[in-house]
Amino acid sequence: MKSIINIVGVLLIIVGITAFVYPGFTYNKKEEVAKLGDFQITAQTKERVKFPPILGGLCLAGGIILLIVGQINKK
């Protein structure tokens, strides 16, 4: 159980640091604009998903707390 707490803590720290380094990601979205028989017009737009900085901070803080709790329980 103690090692699971440490592993989850490390994973949360990695997620928190990653959220600060990459605050979001962009993906392409294709939409069908018009269709007339076999002829169709599509538009490609870029959508951006942003991660709130508070999410990264909470993951980082939670990971640190779990590592501290895991070290205290070892004693």
Per-residue 3-state assignment (H helix, E strand, C coil) for 28-70:
EEEEEEEEECCEEEEEEEEEEEECCHHHHHHHHHHHHHHHHHH
What range does the domain containing 24 cover?
Answer: 2-74
Predicted local distance difference test score (pLDDT) of residue 75: 63
- Count structural domains, the chain: 1
Q: What is the pLDDT of residues 23-61, one digit of tens each?
A: 888 999 999 888 888 888 999 999 998 888 899 999 999
